[in-house]
Amino acid sequence: MITPSERRTTPKIEAYVTTEEGIGLFAQALGNGPQAVVIPNGFHLLDDFKYLAADRTLVAYDLRNRGLSDHVSDTSKLKRGIHHDVDDLGAIRAHFGFGRMSVIGHSYLGFTAILYAMKYPAFVDRVVQVGAPPPDHAKKYPPHLTGHDATLIEVLAQLARLQANRGSEDPEEFCKRVWSVLRSIYVTNPADADRINWGRCHLPNERNFMKYWSEHILPSIQRLGLSAEDVAKVTAPVLTIHGTKDRSAPYGGGREWACLLSDARLVTIENAGHAPWIEAPEMVFGSIRAFLDGAWPAVAQEVESV
């Protein structure tokens, strides 16, 4: 375990954190401030969010079977999907010796952060969700609360063609080709697509992620239909940040979270996609900083209806 004194004298720490099941999770800690902020699956976000380490301790880590964390071939250690991620977030907290922590969850990790806060409310200070999927995967929203558009339809068609014509192409090169197409759905301005560098195609775990996602993670999320009664277990304040044109997670889901949670507010990023900090950096980064400092951002709103 890394002690508080070690954090003060070690501004950058890399470690493998071992879970109860013996799986190694690769983590990096930046900064030495008293407030702990953890970003699950955060390595592709670290450059953008490292500003938080100026006066905090910031930890980003690869999930199990992702990135530089251990490859897991035993399906019994994968079949619980997102619930494994909840447990692993606890292993990170314990390893670094955090009594309490704030969690920033992008995409489906915004869902993970809520599940952790439901299960272990005593360990969570604050939660930031960015582009989180809705509490109930089965719920459908009207078109104006989704980002479903012609760009998404075209990208999905291109991906289908890539897969159909794959042949014996090198896995790393194929991964790069997929991401060259996929990245355009995460932003609304095509000029920003080159700023999506999430593929990490040199890592075998990342090249094989879609199989893990479709067989274990997504089904585990689909089985969860969280209600107001379920999320009432969350005692931490929650800041939900969502782009109105998010093609990966409907904006209606962001509004839903802010309605269901008892202490939550929504920062709406107009005309932004799944990576709203790229398209509105001052609003997103400023809101997160203000929230972690203990205040609701001026632009955050209470939501009474979806």
CATH of the domain at 12: 3.40.50.1820
Question: How far apart (Å, rounded) are the C-alpha atoms in residues 205 and 70?
Answer: 8
Query: Rounded to two decimals, what is the model's pTM?
Result: 0.93
Which residues constitute the domain of residue 81? 4-144+219-292
Q: What is the pLDDT of residue 251?
A: 98
Q: Which of 176, 210, 244 is the last residue of a domain?
A: 210
Verify that 126 and 72 share a domain, yes or no. yes
Residues 130 and 26 in one domain: yes
Residue 258 lies in a domain: yes
Same domain, 134 and 156: no
Please tell me whether residues 136 and 283 are part of one structural domain: yes
In a domain, 34, yes or no: yes
Whether 267 is covered by a domain: the verdict is yes
User: Once rounded to an integer, what is the mean pLDDT over residues 47-73?
Assistant: 95
- Residue 167: per-residue pLDDT: 81
pLDDT band at 11 (very low <50, low <70, confident <90, very high): low
How confident is the prediction for the chain on average, in pLDDT? 94
Q: pLDDT-based confidence at 44, cuts 50/70/90?
A: confident
Report yes or no on 304 lying in a domain: no
**Considering the domain boundaries, does residue 174 fall inside one?**
yes
Whether pLDDT at 1 is above 60: no
Cβ atoms of 211 and 217 closer than 8 Å: no
Q: Say whether pLDDT at 3 is over 50.
A: no
Residues 235 and 114 in one domain: yes
92 and 136 belong to one structural domain: yes
Q: Is the same domain home to 225 and 97?
A: yes
Least confident of 6-10, 45-49, 136-140, 262-266: 6-10
**186 and 139 assigned to the same domain:** no
Reported as a single tens digit per residue, the pLDDT across 143-193 is: 999 999 999 999 999 999 999 988 888 999 999 999 999 999 999 999 999
Q: How much is the pLDDT for 6? A: 36
- Relative orientation angle of helices 82-95 and 109-119, to the nearest 10 degrees: 70
Residue 299 lies in a domain: no
Taking the C-alpha atoms of residue 197 and residue 229, their distance in angstroms, rounded to an integer, is: 38
pLDDT at 5 over 80: no
Q: Are 81 and 75 in contact (CB under 8 A)?
A: no
Within this chain, do residues 187 and 134 fall inside the same structural domain, yes or no?
Answer: no
Residues 45 and 194 in one domain: no
pLDDT exceeds cutoff 90 at 2: no
Which tens digits make up the pLDDT trace of 200-234? 999 999 999 999 999 999 999 999 999 999 999 99
41 and 67 belong to one structural domain: yes
In a domain, 41, yes or no: yes
Which of 168, 189, 210 marks a domain boundary?
Answer: 210
pLDDT in tens, 99-122: 999 999 999 999 999 999 999 999
Please say if the pLDDT value at position 9 is more than 70.
no
Tell me whether residue 256 is in a domain: yes
Do residues 9 and 130 both lie within one domain?
Answer: yes
Q: Could you give the number of structural domains in the chain?
A: 2
Q: What is the mean pLDDT of residues 33-49?
A: 93
- Those residues with Cβ within 8 angstroms of residue 269's Cβ, 6 or more apart along the chain or in another chain: 241, 242, 243, 244, 276, 279, 280, 283, 284
Query: What distance in Å separates the CA atoms of residue 199 and residue 172, rounded to the nearest whole number?
Result: 10
